[in-house]
Structure 1
Amino acid sequence: MEKEIELMVFIETFKELNPVAQALCATGFTWFVTALGAATVFSSKKIKQKLLDGMLGFAGGVMIAASFWSLLAPALEMGEGGSFPAWVPASVGFLTGGLFLRIIDRILPHLHIGLPIEEAEGIHTRWKKSILLVLAITLHNIPEGLAVGVAFGAAAAHHPGASLSGAVALALGIGLQNFPEGMAVSMPLRREGISAAKSFWYGQLSGMVEPAAGVLGAAVVVSSQAILPYALSFAAGAMIFVVVEEVIPESQQSGYADFATLCCMLGFTVMMILDVALG
């Protein structure tokens, strides 16, 4: 009974926070889950490739579902009754989000999991492979943190298509798929002979960008509600770019494509249930 009362007090306290603080708390949670995934290096030096591919597929499914149910659908609903057709803000924001990530992808030095350092993308640099791997997952986490922040900002605006519970559902979904992302950084580093402590540090470091992106997203939409549908769809476009360009291809390259695909569908279903049930 005491635990239930404490939980209710926590929920009420959380509701009273301003949306920027809520976004900070939520993305702090997603960062923590990334750290939990990275912490698996202390119990094991390697992970079965099939399991890693399945977890990456699951993460991709969560991100795809979140892009529609938590971001695009509310953006379309908010666009109704405006000076443009409802699909215009959503389309413009979605494509701009993808273009934004494409530009970062071209500029930011990073290396996808399982590839030799010679195939690093972005501006040429002599940075170590470990740093490039961290930056690759960091690239994933920018749109994730932004999406959570924008969702809390939209909920604070009391639009019919957005709600606090929906924003919480999004944070939970992003947190779920951050666990394998933390592992995806720390485990390869551990296999290369880097100490468990350093591998963990680099793994959790990749999630550090989420609170910054979340606070920025919430602050922007709170300051100007007119850009809400654009901001929501922008985050969706950025996430879809990451899923199609990086997450799904990485889950398909080691011979477990069918298993990874089924896990992707499972991740999509879990996120859909979370959003519909809580939102």
Structure 2
Amino acid sequence: MMEWFTGLPVVMQALLAGMMTWGLTALGAALVFVFTTIEKRVMNMMLGFAAGVMIAASFWSLLAPAIEFTEKDGGIAWLPAAIGFLAGGFFVRLLDFVTPHLHLSAPLETAEGPSTGLKKTTLLFLAITLHNIPEGLAIGVAFGAAALNMDGATVAGALTLALGIGIQNMPEGAALSIPLRGEGMSRRRAFNYGQLSAIVEPIAAMVGAAAVFFIQPLLPYALAFAAGAMIFVVVEELIPESQAENGSDLATLGLMVGFTVMMILDVALG
């Protein structure tokens, strides 16, 4: 099975991995067929777990390989990582600025981006979709690095990253679909909103893989860029949302568990 997968073109590998993360998002969104609401403390813990996974993935799967690659290539080890990391954060901030969206649990009047008459459900959908783009890019860049035989980068490691992102996508899918159901939307429609929020991940994964494969000198910058974009999402969205209202201690423990799970997956399998 693994030999069949590694024999595929790198863009196809990234696409299939992105499809897996999309599928796991759909699995999380499918909880709307079982639950109408989820206790806030449980949701906070799930979002904290997602944040922990993304933080660990950003370092172990993206920043560390970028630094190692540059160091072995004779460059200034920290420079591409620092530039790429900051560029990734500014990129997501730019997307936030030009795209109307609404954070989870936020009132409609606090919607960010250009003024618009879009409904609250659409603004919530855009927020989750917007923040899934960096995850797809990270997956694609990881597969591109493996295809270029970058030190420390393997197909197994890229798959591990995709698995970790997919695992943290599950609570995000539920965090969108279940509140929409609680506002009166039908289960099927709420599920569709939840699972479609991750449809950008396979597309972004292909873009990321193609970009680094054809522009090899940018590889360490691209890895750090993906890490910076993911950390921006964690700090701006996931951590504040998970710490809202009650259950902040559970959210923090969830973050630590998520970080540990992703670290173990990356070290053991990557």
TM-score by length of 1: 0.95
Residue 82 of structure 1, CA deviation: 4.2
**Cα–Cα, structure 1 residues 82 and 12, in superposed 2: closer, same or farther, change >3 Å?**
closer
* 1:128 correspondence with 2:119: yes
Partner Cα separation in structure 2 for residue 18 and residue 254 of structure 1:
47
Residue 182 of structure 1, CA deviation: 0.3
Aligned AA for 2:118?
W
Partner Cα separation in structure 1 for residue 43 and residue 246 of structure 2:
12
Q: Aligned residue for 1:194?
A: 185
Gaps of 5+ in 1: 1-9
Partner Cα separation in structure 1 for residue 128 and residue 80 of structure 2:
29
Q: Aligned residue for 2:164?
A: 173
Aligned AA for 2:269?
L
* TM-align CA RMSD: 0.9
Superposed, which structure 2 residues align to 1:141-180 within 5 Å?
A: 141-180=132-171
Q: Which runs of 4+ in 1 moved over 3 A?
A: 81-84
* 1:227 correspondence with 2:218: yes
Superposed, which structure 2 residues align to 1:70-81 within 5 Å?
A: 70-81=61-72
Preserved CA contact (<8 Å) 1:75 1:161: no
Gaps of 5+ in 2: none
Partner Cα separation in structure 2 for residue 81 and residue 44 of structure 1:
51
Q: Aligned residue for 1:7?
A: none
Q: Secondary structure at the match of 2:136?
A: helix
Q: Secondary structure at the match of 1:80?
A: helix
Preserved CA contact (<8 Å) 2:54 2:165: yes
Q: Aligned residue for 1:203?
A: 194
Preserved CA contact (<8 Å) 1:93 1:233: yes
Partner Cα separation in structure 2 for residue 81 and residue 60 of structure 1:
31
TM-score by length of 2: 0.98
Residue 155 of structure 1, CA deviation: 0.4
Preserved CA contact (<8 Å) 2:70 2:80: yes
Partner Cα separation in structure 1 for residue 20 and residue 74 of structure 2:
38
Indicate which of 102, 109, 112 corresponds to 2:103. 112
Partner Cα separation in structure 2 for residue 40 and residue 81 of structure 1:
46
Query: How many residues in Structure 1 have an aligned counterpart in Structure 2?
Result: 270
Q: Aligned residue for 2:259?
A: 268
1:47-73 Cα deviation digits (max 9, x unpaired): 111111000000000000000000000
Aligned AA for 2:28?
G
Aligned AA for 1:63?
M
Determine what percentage of the aligned residue pairs are the same residue.
62
Q: Aligned residue for 1:244?
A: 235
Preserved CA contact (<8 Å) 1:252 1:260: yes
